[in-house]
Structure formats: structure tokens, C-alpha cells
Structure 1
């Protein structure tokens, strides 16, 4: 693994994308920063992080996805890579809140943003951005956030965690390449936040309703049984879970 360490950067995802445009970049090259000024989350949200307290990283993933229909396989693999590392640390009540927020109980530990590019030679290049709250203890403006340090009452070595996450990413990506994605999907559904229990949602028109998560489809959409017992499917920007 090629590792690039930066002090401050606008966005590790953007930095790695620029690198890839201008030079040949080794697969699984990882950029990590102590702080970033324009960290991005799902749907354009901002990822804020105290300097030097957390993992802010982006990893280049090539030669894993073969077709556009397989794109969500990578989301599944990356979400589980983070969860598997945290399981080894005995972090309690871990789950994946669709599509790929990592939770401990009802608090968010990590966010993942994957940006895919379709190349002229039909390759799919993915930039995997991960923000993991590790040693930060102040989340006054983020009441639904937490960190490993808060949960476990101890501090962690960031370099050690980073290496373990990249190792697990490579391991899970190898399952996709070898045609064993169903193993990842099975675990992903087992780890889903609030799956199988009634929970409130809000759609883009601000209509609230109760539903029960059934599964995530191969395309990465959320399948929910709604109050009239019909099954509806929602894309990432079409629904918000209220919890």
C-alpha cells in the first residue's frame, strides 16, 4: 500500500482524484490527512473533524468493479471493512445505517463516500472516502455523533487503525473480484441498522410515515414495507430515516 500523509487539505477524495488524472496511481493508494476544510459526506453534507483526532482517508480502488450494475457491491464491501475492524476492537452494537454510515448503538461513528468514475477503456475507478471518529470527544454541534474514545473510554493509535482498515478493504474487494459478493451482502443485511423493526421515515416532500426495512437491492436502493403492507423502494436522495 502506498500511503500519502498530509497535514491539511481541502478534501482527500479530491486530492486523490487529481493525482489519478495526472499520473498512474498504484491500486489501493491511500491519502490520509490530519484535517480537511471541505470534507464531504452523502448528498453534499459536510464532514467536520478535529485536527489530528480522527481518521480522514481516501483510497483508490481499481480493477474491482466490472460493470455499472455492480457499483453498490463496493459500498457493501467498504462498510463491512470498517465494521470488521471495529468488531475486533470490541466496539459495541455496531451496524450500518443505509447506505453506509457506521453506527454504535444510535450514534454515528463513521461516514463513507464513494465516488466512481467510468473510464474510456470501460474501467471503473473508485475513490473511497472514509471519516472515522476516533479520539475526538467534543460533538456539541453533532448530537448524533460519537467516537471510539467516547464509547470505549480510551484513545487509539490512528496509524494502526488506518492500516487495519486498508487491509480489510483489500480483503473484501478480493471477494468481489472472485465472485463471492453474496457473502458480503449476507453480512451487510445482518448488520443493517433498524432492519426488520418499525421506524419512521420522511420522503422528499416532507411526508412522514412508518415502515419496516426489508433489504437493500442490488442497485443500492432501500426496500421498505409501508403502512398499507405494500413494498416500496427508495433511492439514497429520496428518503430520510427519523430516529
Structure 2
């Protein structure tokens, strides 16, 4: 059974921070103090050391984008469901972004949000694990909203660039929390229910970036072509017509043509 406080609404309390090194660092600091509350959200107007996947830096203009971390109580989830949580957060970000940008929004494996061939959002999940007990997950979400120009980042896009509209970032961040609330409840309901677990994966694969298309990937020094097939519950990317049938996250890099 989920812990009682897991019924608390994601996005409450919602804390705005003028400037912080990283919202994920801030949230994890709360966890380390033993003061974690499920659903707590921290929104930063500025990050001085934002983090992306695999140690990359996430840069964003002040007050123009969503820089958000949400604390999730994962004590009812087995460690084997870590990718399902990643898929859940990705689907929440997809639900949010596609609502405003409409068609051509996709989830790029493992959990970036792309519009056409350009990155719209990046997600970073960090965990607090003791022994076999998965206690907490911090879901960091950086979404490009109002930024109109990205220096030395040609493969990036914002909601403003897509729609021509300017948005209130805090309002949209709370909307994103509501999307995550719905998807996290779906994940909790899938515990010990294989059919519901499969359904999450089906929804994820239904919006998978380049699925069924021929793409170029790089492994080490070798660039090769393959057809994207699907992602399984362990987070492995299955492909066709390649030197091996699947790849782990970090094993290959995408080769995309910049717009």
C-alpha cells in the first residue's frame, strides 16, 4: 500500500526560489535533513549550476523557463521500477508540453521531450536509496518556455518559439505538477498489476521519438544506422538492423541533423 502521505497533492507546497545552484540539489538537501514531504515542489527563477543527464550542465535564461524539482515518495515502489518512474515523469512532461505545442511532441529515450528534432525539455531523476529501500526520488524538470534565443544551442526550442505566445512560467509549472500528479497515481496503481504496468510502457512507446524510423546512432567511434523499435520496462532501447538488438542508456549517442 502507498504511504498515507503519498496522497498529498503534487505541487503542494510549491516554493519559489529567486536563485539556487540546482533545484535538484536543494530538494535532495531537504531529504537529507529528514524533512521530505511527498509532492513538495521547488521552482527556481535562476539556477547557477543546473544539472542535466550524465553530468551535463543545464543552462537557462533567468525567469524565462520552468526550472522545477518535485519530491516523490517512492517507498511503495520496488527498485526494479526505476525506469517506469522515469517513463511516468516523461509522460507527465509530454502531457504538459503537447497540450500547448500540440502535434510533433515526442519523448526521446530515455526521457527528454522533443518537438520535431529539437529539444524542448530535459528531465533528471535522482534517488535516495537505503539498502533495498527506495525512499525518495527527486524529479527535476527543465522546460523551455519563453526563451527566444539559445546561444551555442542550435538543437533547442521553446514553447514561445513554437506558438508565438508568452507564458507565465509559475502558472505553467503548477500545471506541470498537476500532470505529474495524474501520472504518478497511474504508476502507483500499476504496483503488482502487470496489465497496468504494460499500459504505461505502451503509452510511452506510442509517443517515442523516431519510433519506426531509420536513425543514425554512435557507439564509441562507430556511427551506424538502425530502426527504432521500442523501449522495455528496464529502459533498454530495442532497435532493428543494427549490430546488436538493444542498447543501455549512455551506450549510444543520437546523430541528429540540426535545423
- Please state which band the TM-score falls in when normalised by the shorter chain: over 0.9
| Equivalent in the alignment of 2:9 | none
Equivalent in 47, 51, 55 of residue 40 of structure 1: 51
Listed as ranges, the gaps of 5+ residues in structure 2 are 1-11, 191-195
Query: Is 2:81 the partner of 1:70?
Result: yes
CA contact (8 A) 1:139 1:145 kept: yes
2:250 is the counterpart of 1:234? no
Q: Could you report, residue by residue, the CA deviation over 1:69-112 in whole angstroms, capped at 9, with x for unpaired residues?
A: 11001111111111112222243310011011101111110000
Cα contact 2:74–2:135 (8 A) shared by 1: yes
Equivalent pair of 2:20/2:47 in contact (CA under 8 Å): yes
- State how many pairs are aligned: 240
Counterparts of 1:144-163 in structure 2, within 5 Å, are 144-163=155-174
1:171 CA drift (Å): 1.0
Q: Which residue of 2 aligns with 1:183?
A: 199
Name the CA distance, whole Å, in 2 between partners of 1:104 and 1:38.
Answer: 25
Q: TM-score, normalised by structure 2?
A: 0.88
Report deviation, 1:235.
1.2
Identify which range, 177-186 or 10-19, moves more after superposition. 177-186
* 1:237 shift after superposition: 1.2
- Cα shift readout 1:103-136 (whole Å, capped 9, x = no counterpart): 1111110000001121357233101000000000
For 2:76 and 2:246, the matched residues in 1 are separated by 24
CA contact (8 A) 2:113 2:119 kept: yes
Partner in structure 1 of residue 17 of structure 2: 6
TM-score, normalised to structure 1, is 0.94
Aligned-partner Cα distance in 2 for 1:113–1:226 = 30
Q: Is the 8 A contact 1:213 1:225 kept in 2?
A: yes
